[in-house]
Structure 1
Amino acid sequence: MDTDRNHDVAIIGGGAAGLSAAVTLARSLRSVVVVDAGEPRNAPADGAHNVLGHDGIPPLELLAAGRREAAHYGAQMRHDRAVATRRHDGGFEVELAGGETVWARRLLLATGLIDQLPDVPGLRELWGKSVLHCPYCHGWEVRGQRVGVLGTSPRSVHQALMFRQLSEEVTLFAHRMPDPSDEAWAQLAALSIQVVDGTVDRLRIEDGALRAVVLEDGHEFGVDAVAVAPRFVARSDLYEQLGGTPTDQPAGAFIATDPMGRTEIPGVWAAGNSTDLGAMVAAATGAGVVAAAAINADLVAEDAATAVWARIGA
């Protein structure tokens, strides 16, 4: 088994948060390794939005640029999957699927999350295109179109209200959501949001394009886009191997941290969607920078303490 023991920080995940952290740490002359399996959550999307100066940039193009920048400052890249981690020799060993083991003094988990979609045929096929969840990420692209909202939880009413800001033709399909409150019914009625009872059977797709929402009773409703609220679940396997416990909330499960990204496990930070389920690309980028700065400060303090002890012992 090959082992690389020369890193200050191992970053697991090469998305916006992980690569931003890598740039920040490498610019501080830290030795950094980024382990990434190459499966970005936003790969199906045509563009990443609300990224200042780069609005609409294809996600894979953005990440490629980030890798170039990180490598320019000396960060190392491993196109591999981290499968296990443990404490070892004052730091952390991370085993990769390809057989290599990397060692680092600190660990940053930028592992992202998994979108758990309802079991409705058609959702996964069009996810990130005409099936979406975030009005800020993709709302402009469906403005003025016929938007259906798949009801899965009380949050679906809020989602319908958000998309009503962008289109006058919004339909809320009750599907499996609980009955809205009186206040919610009043809001839906006041904004002329149609509510359709019945369970959704599937999305009708023709030539790769969304055409309609089909109920179990066979009724069809023409739509151009469908909004859905998935359950967001952080990729927390490595965190749990180190003894951490993900935090549950109504929208999903995440790795809890302090404002600087420090987790409950000494030496371990988290950034991006693994700790903030609602973080868009720009927010994940900022979180990566903040966590990197905190990690660097922690290493500076440790290095200073080591130098003091070495001087005393000399």
Structure 2
Amino acid sequence: MTDLRRDGYDVVVAGGGAAGLNGALMLARARRSVVVIDAGAPRNAPAEGVHGLLGREGMPPAELLERGREEVRRYGGQVVSGEIRAVTRDGDGLAVTLADGRVTRARRLLVATGLVDELPDVPGLRDRWGRDVLHCPYCHGWEVRDRAIGVLGGGPMSVHQALLFRQWSDDVTFFSHTGPPAGEDAEKLAARGIRVVDGEVASLEVTGDRLTGVRLSDGTVVAREALAVSSRMVARAGFLAALGLRPQEHPSGAGEHIPCDATGRTEAPGVWVAGNATDLTAQVGTSAAAGALAAAHINADLVAEETTRAVAAHRERTASAARL
């Protein structure tokens, strides 16, 4: 078990994904004392590679994170394995309590814990998540190009998802499942040549280690090589409740997020958020950039606080010298 500093840190970063590590890297390079506390459950762990990230195209997610941890440590940052249970006010700072009982203190907190994908209750779906059961065409579309792709209906973004995947294949089937398309949605699917199959999806058909079809509740099997699923995405942020920060419904209807301003600053003083915890659709590159932006503003906020204190001390010294 890695010890945490007894005197705390300038910044505690909750979450060691792209957003958290890039934020920590910026802060460590700014000569801030910073620790990343990571539970070790990255959302993209099942994926074979990271895509759409310049210079790191196709790199396994675990390798990218290990490189990031090494870079943070190179500048004096600390990376600790653990899960944050609660964050509470502690004077002018924050007390961070881990599930194993360890406690540390932070002047500022960067929340980059990502999100949880709540998947439809279809047997076999979870087991193939991130492999041939997909959610993001920009992450996986090239890998399933020109294949027989299915899209599971019923999710808040299902029709939009089907229209996007049509860019990568002309063989896209929309399974209405529990949410048959209607009106303009049905017209859009028809216009793009996307076949609609009615009926509830009962399970997935797998041969060897490959998805081969989608089985309906009436026993019909529709051959498919990949299935796109619109999950409900929920920020991992229960530990912020004592600060009055709770996940709120995202405007898109795709799940719950922690709202913030353009810099990542939340309504809770001293708390910033970056990555999927606030931006549900952010990819690795977007999350990393958001972490860097939030870190720069956190550092600027600390500089402003330190300058205010320095000015007050300077005035006191000047006044004392004048009285002599």
Establish whether residue 230 from structure 1 lines up as the match of residue 227 from structure 2: no
- TM-score w.r.t. structure 1 length? 0.97
Contact 1:153/1:178 (CA < 8 Å) preserved in 2?
Answer: no
Paired position in structure 1 for 2:102: 100
What is the aligned partner in structure 2 of residue 293 from structure 1? 296
Structure 2 residue 200 is matched with structure 1 residue 199: yes
Q: Report what 2:320 is aligned to.
A: none
Aligned partners of 2:44 and 2:256: how far apart in 1? 19
Q: 1:18-64: CA deviations, max 9, x gaps? A: 00000000000000011001110000000010110111110000000
Asked if structure 2 preserves the Cα contact closer than 8 Å seen for 1:156 and 1:177, the reply is no
For structure 1, the residue ranges without an aligned partner over 5 or more in a row are none
Amino acid at match of 1:188: L
In structure 2, how many angstroms separate the alpha carbons of the residues matched to 1:254 and 1:187?
29
Residues 1:276 and 2:282 are matched in the alignment: no
Which amino acid counterpart does residue 285 of structure 2 have in structure 1? A
Which residue of 2 is the match for residue 157 of structure 1? 159
- Alignment counterpart, residue 59 of structure 2, candidates 57, 60, 71: 57
- What is the 5 A alignment of 1:1-314? 4-153=6-155, 155-181=157-183, 183-249=184-250, 250-314=253-317
TM-fit CA distance, 1:184:
2.4
Report the CA distance between 1:154 and its aligned residue.
Answer: 5.3
Secondary structure (helix, strand or coil) at the match of 1:41 reads coil
Aligned partner letter, 1:236: A
Measured in 2, the distance between the counterparts of 1:126 and 1:2 equals: 37
Query: How far apart, CA to CA, are the structure 1 residues paired with 2:268 and 2:6?
Result: 23
1: CA distance, partners of 2:229 / 2:306: 48
Alpha-carbon deviations, 1:260-288, whole Å to 9, x = none? 00000010000000010000000000000
Secondary structure of 1:103's partner?
Answer: strand
Q: Please report how far the alpha carbon of residue 241 of structure 1 lies from its aligned counterpart in structure 2 after TM superposition.
A: 2.4
Task: Name the CA distance, whole Å, in 2 between partners of 1:47 and 1:154.
Answer: 26
Write the distance in 2 (CA, Å) between the matches of 1:154 and 1:66. 34
C-alpha displacement at 1:191, in angstroms? 2.0
Amino acid at match of 1:271: A
The one-letter code sitting in structure 2 at the alignment partner of 1:77 is V
- Cα deviation, 1:196-222, whole Å, max 9, x if unaligned, reads 000000111222321110000000011
Partners in 2 of 1:45 and 1:97 — Cα distance? 28
Q: In the aligned structure 2, how far is the partner of 1:48 from the partner of 1:154?
A: 25
Describe the shift of the 1:31–1:154 C-alpha distance in structure 2 as closer, same or farther (beyond 3 A). Answer: closer
* Alpha-carbon distance in 2 for matches of 1:2, 1:73: 17
TM-score (norm 2): 0.94
Q: Which of 285-294 and 242-251 deviates more?
A: 242-251
5+ residue gaps in structure 2? 318-324
Distance (Å, rounded) in 1 between the aligned partners of 2:72 and 2:156? 42
Cα distance in 2 between the residues matched to 1:2 and 1:191 = 56
Q: Return the index of the structure with the highest Cα Rg.
A: 2
- The percentage of aligned residue pairs carrying the same residue is 53
- Residue aligned with 1:18, SS: helix
Q: Which runs of 4+ in 1 moved over 6 A?
A: none
Give the Cα–Cα distance (whole angstroms) in 2 for the partners of residues 214 and 242 of structure 1: 46
Considering only aligned residues, what root-mean-square deviation do their CA atoms show, in Å? 1.3
SS of the aligned residue for 2:227 comes to strand
CA distance in 2, matches of 1:154, 1:123: 18
Distance in 1, Cα, partners of 2:305 & 2:156: 47
Partner of 2:322: none
Native 8 Å contact 1:35 1:77 kept in 2:
yes
| Count of residues paired in the alignment | 313
Q: Report SS of the residue matched to 2:126.
A: coil
Within 2, Cα distance between the matches of 1:157 and 1:240?
A: 34
- State how far apart, in whole Å, the 2-side matches of 1:297 and 1:67 are: 23
Task: Tell me the SS of whatever aligns to 2:6.
Answer: strand
Tell me how far apart the structure 1 counterparts of residues 181 and 294 of structure 2 sit (CA, whole Å).
41
The answer on whether the counterparts of 1:157 and 1:180 sit within 8 Å (CA) in structure 2 is: no
SS at structure 2 position matched to 1:125? helix
Say if 1:6 and 1:245 are closer, same or farther in 2 by CA, change over 3 A.
Answer: closer
Aligned partner letter, 1:238 = F
